[in-house]
Amino acid sequence: MSPAPAVDIKTLTIDGKEVSARAGQTILEVARENSIAIPTLCHLDGLSDVGACRLCMVEIAGTPKLFPACVATVEEGQVVTTSSDRLKKHRRTILELLFAERNHVCSVCVANGHCELQTLGQEQGLTHIRLPYRNPKLEIDGSHERFTLDQNRCILCTRCVRVCAEVEGAHIWDVMGRGIDSMVITDLHQPWGESACTRCGKCVQVCPTGALFDKSKVGSPHPKYPEFLPALQMMREQQ
């Protein structure tokens, strides 16, 4: 029997709490293992990380720079702060930017009460938006037999793109355009219903807002269940 490989253990401090972690773990993973909450939006357990939403930015002592906890890995002796006035201010501003970017009307949204953006807004103490609302005119694609895409509610977290490419393997979703004109699309920007969609519905389950929803849930609560991802991953590894 060969000896168990030596595990490289790092000790660090997060919000004043001394914690230990395996080398290569991200700050986010370690924080959550230790019940320290860091807000996230584009991150989802079971998908690759892109570091796009910038809500999980944390401070590391010794540098003025901020680091996205979802991709920054732990280092020995690191002193991490996950919540400070500066971080809270940035998080609120980022959420304001999201609310003002498209047309988020919580009161009439299918995801009202089950929306990660809405919840984050409340958690971060957002009671109003200081920025002018952009109110762009955007498409709603209802061509799919089971699901709807409402661009008005999309925050471009790209979870749908990643789950379709990485887990389902179909890669019918991607992002077109760039900057403020970026848009998630199916195939050659064709109606979703005419695309090569496998109808698995994973994208709907991982969508944090009401941008992707199940048509049968209109008018009734529409919680999403993205927890299936880590379980799916585990089952695959076991086989």
Residues lying near other proteins in the complex (CB under 8 A) are found at 50-54, 57, 65-66, 68, 71-73, 86, 89-90, 93-94, 97-101, 103-109, 112-113, 118-119, 121-122, 125-138, 155-156, 165, 171-182, 185-189, 196
Spell out a b/e string for 3-34, using b for 16 or more CB atoms within 10 Å of the CB, else e: eeeeeeebebebbeeebebeeeebbbbbbeee
- Closest to other proteins by CB, 20 vs 182, is 182
In the complex, least distance from residue 3 CB atom to other proteins, rounded to whole angstroms: 25
3-state secondary structure of 192: helix
Q: What angle do CA 82, 131, 182 make, to 5 degrees?
A: 80
CB of 211 to other proteins, least distance (A): 15
Nearer residue to other proteins within complex by CB, 11 or 122: 122
Other CB atoms within 10 A of residue 154 CB = 23
Q: Toward other proteins, which CB reaches closer, 112 or 143? A: 112
- Nearer of residues 52 and 214 to other proteins, judged by Cβ: 52
CA distance 119 to 73: 27
Quote the least distance from Cβ 160 to other proteins, whole Å.
11
Neighbours of 156 (CB within 10 A): 19
Nearer to other proteins by Cβ, of 66 and 228: the residue is 66
- With beta carbons less than 8 A apart as the criterion, state whether 142 and 194 touch: no
Query: Phi and psi at residue 164, in whole multiples of 5°?
Result: -70, -40
Cβ proximity to other proteins: between 113 and 230 the closer is 113
By C-alpha distance, which of 210, 209, 215, 207 is closest to 144?
215
Q: State in angstroms the smallest separation of the CB of 186 from other proteins.
A: 6
Q: Measured between alpha carbons, how far is residue 57 from residues 6, 11, 73, 201, 238 in Å?
A: 31, 20, 13, 30, 34
Minimum CB separation from other proteins for residue 35, in Å? 20
Residue 122 CB, nearest approach to other proteins (Å): 4
